[in-house]
Homo-oligomer: A and B are copies of this chain.
Amino acid sequence: MPTFAALALLLFAAPAFASTHDPSGPVFLSLAVMLLGAKLGGDVVMRLGLPAVLGELLVGVLLGNLPLLGVTAFEALRTDAFVDLLSRVGVVILLFEVGLESTVGQMMKVGRSAVAVALIGVATPFALGWGAAALVLPSASPAAHAFLAATLTATSVGITARVFRDLGREQSTESRIILGAAVVDDVLGLVILAVVSGAVAAADAGEGFPLADAGRSLFAAVAFLGGALIIGRYLPPTLFGFAARLKARRVLVAFGLIFCFLLAWAADLVGLSPIVGAFAAGLVLEDVHTHDLATRERQNLAHLVEPISDFLVPIFFVVMGLRTDLSMLASPSVWVLTLALVVVAIVGKLVAGLGAFGKGLDRLTVGLGMMPRGEVGLIFAGVGATLTLRGAPVIDAKLYAAVVLMVIVTTVITPPALAWSIRRRAASAPTPSA
């Protein structure tokens, strides 16, 4: 314990030593603090029977709000561009890992459920959200109502994927339906975002409805997913067959990451979230493709990605927590709007769970798994903040604060709610065979 007290003292005194001769010096302190915090936070919540990811998020919230307590040592973490990008690499690695543990065939089995869940899970929060926003904020523009509604359609599957994995249930039907629905959801959310922002821009310019933009977005998204499935059949055998002929050692991890990063980038290019590309990359990379290498390197790609994931994934969840500015809670009007958005966000996705079908399936677990908005909701709100209508931003500072709080609440309540729901089923029903 004295060692830890000394370590804690050192960490908090650290910024006093201003002069560093290498730009990476402070980065190493940030990484060490985030990893240590993530492990300590994970340990505390796990002792309470909750998934580790919640502890990582809460440690992030704590680190991000230390300035409120007068401790400014880690203030820079929240806006650090390197930490931000590294966390995005982290969530891409997480979805790649999740994808590696599934196959296209398994996803196809849950395809119809996934599409139904996604459609209901986009339509319901959008309609309810528009209504709730109009009710709570009658003075705001219809564009603002539509944008608030659009932020409610997003699903950020990173947290859900992590909870299922923390509980050893990533192979369950519910987990697959949610992952599939999140992919469809990302496509639909993209179309809605394109339509709403196009409509706002057209209204601001006094023009008509931009149907062409919406059509183009939908086409790009569908083409990407179709393309990923086709590429998945032909590229990995070529890529890994080629890698197997290389003289260089330890090529399996490198080629797995190359494929993952290329698809993450391609997804972003067509306007989808990079995590959709990473998930698709993991999904299509079945073991058969890496077989030539596996016999030589005697290791499985999913297993090799684990240490990279152990390093980068906690960084992502700590950063998600870091972004939470608790000082926004000072405004009462933010509370009312936040409450309305949170209710719609939860109800809208719980209803979506009803779209899932299959024997012994738990629709409540599916609905709860669709709840977190995470970084996708934040991206939508960010777009709304940059759009203007008659000179004023569509999403102003208070609306933005309410959206951020809604994202936080849906993100923070998901791990315990989902863990409770999964355990409840596991206790009351026989475990399906793996």
Contact assessment for A17 and B52 in the assembled complex, using a CB-CB cutoff below 8 Å: no
Contact assessment for A269 and B25 in the assembled complex, using a CB-CB cutoff below 8 Å: yes
Q: Which residue of B lies closest to A80 (CB)?
A: B85
Within 8 A of B (CB), among A234-272: 234-235, 238-239, 242-243, 246-251, 253-255, 257-258, 261-262, 264-265, 268-269, 271
Which single member of B25, B81, B88, B262 contacts A268 (CB below 8 Å)? Answer: B25
Within 8 A of B (CB), among A1-36: 3-4, 7, 14, 17, 19-29, 31-32, 35-36
Instruction: Report the minimum CB–CB distance from A324 to chain B (whole Å).
Output: 20
Which single member of B14, B257, B271 contacts A311 (CB below 8 Å)? Answer: B257
> With contacts A82-B81, A92-B28 known, is A35 near B261, CB below 8 A?
yes
Contact assessment for B235 and A24 in the assembled complex, using a CB-CB cutoff below 8 Å: no
A31: chain B residues at CB < 8 Å are: 89, 257, 261
Contact assessment for B23 and A262 in the assembled complex, using a CB-CB cutoff below 8 Å: no
Contact assessment for B85 and A254 in the assembled complex, using a CB-CB cutoff below 8 Å: no
Total copies of this chain within the assembly = 2
Stretch at the interface among A116-124, A302-310, A350-358: A302-310
CB of A274 within 8 A of chain B?
Answer: yes
A246 to B419, CA, bound (A): 20
> With contacts A255-B39, A268-B22, A268-B25 known, is A250 near B310, CB below 8 A?
yes
Contact assessment for B28 and A254 in the assembled complex, using a CB-CB cutoff below 8 Å: no
CB of A292 within 8 A of chain B?
Answer: no
Residue among A3, A92, A258, A379 with the highest chain B CB neighbour number at 10 A = A258
> With contacts A47-B247, A268-B24 known, is A38 near B81, CB below 8 A?
no
Contact assessment for A22 and B308 in the assembled complex, using a CB-CB cutoff below 8 Å: no
> With contacts A28-B262, A31-B261 known, is A274 near B22, CB below 8 A?
yes
A379 to B258, CA, bound (A): 31
CB of A314 within 8 A of chain B?
Answer: yes
A243 to B258, CA, bound (A): 33
Which single member of B29, B247, B249 contacts A261 (CB below 8 Å)? Answer: B29
Contact assessment for B255 and A27 in the assembled complex, using a CB-CB cutoff below 8 Å: no
A261 to B46, CA, bound (A): 25
Contact assessment for A311 and B310 in the assembled complex, using a CB-CB cutoff below 8 Å: no
Contact assessment for A379 and B82 in the assembled complex, using a CB-CB cutoff below 8 Å: no
Instruction: Report the minimum CB–CB distance from A393 to chain B (whole Å).
Output: 18
Contact assessment for B28 and A268 in the assembled complex, using a CB-CB cutoff below 8 Å: yes
A262 to B30, CA, bound (A): 9
Within 8 A of B (CB), among A101-135: none
Q: A24-B268, A24-B274, A35-B258 are in contact. List 15 more A-B contacts (CB 8 A).
A: A3-B239, A7-B235, A7-B262, A14-B269, A21-B268, A23-B88, A28-B89, A28-B277, A38-B254, A46-B247, A82-B85, A250-B306, A253-B307, A253-B311, A307-B308
A325: chain B residues at CB < 8 Å are: none
Instruction: Report the minimum CB–CB distance from A244 to chain B (whole Å).
Output: 11
Contact assessment for A28 and B255 in the assembled complex, using a CB-CB cutoff below 8 Å: no
Contact assessment for B43 and A248 in the assembled complex, using a CB-CB cutoff below 8 Å: yes
Instruction: Report the minimum CB–CB distance from A114 to chain B (whole Å).
Output: 23
Measured as residues with beta carbon below 8 angstroms from the partner, the interface class of chain A is 35 or more
Instruction: Report the minimum CB–CB distance from A52 to chain B (whole Å).
Output: 5
Contact assessment for A379 and B22 in the assembled complex, using a CB-CB cutoff below 8 Å: yes
Q: Which residue of B lies closest to A303 (CB)?
A: B307
Which single member of B238, B305, B314 contacts A254 (CB below 8 Å)? Answer: B314
A46 to B248, CA, bound (A): 7
Which single member of B32, B36, B39, B304 contacts A307 (CB below 8 Å)? Answer: B304
Contact assessment for B304 and A22 in the assembled complex, using a CB-CB cutoff below 8 Å: no
Contact assessment for B39 and A88 in the assembled complex, using a CB-CB cutoff below 8 Å: no
A92: chain B residues at CB < 8 Å are: 24, 28
Instruction: Report the minimum CB–CB distance from A28 to chain B (whole Å).
Output: 4
A17 to B270, CA, bound (A): 9
Within 8 A of B (CB), among A266-323: 268-269, 271, 273-274, 277, 304-308, 310-311, 314
Instruction: Report the minimum CB–CB distance from A284 to chain B (whole Å).
Output: 14
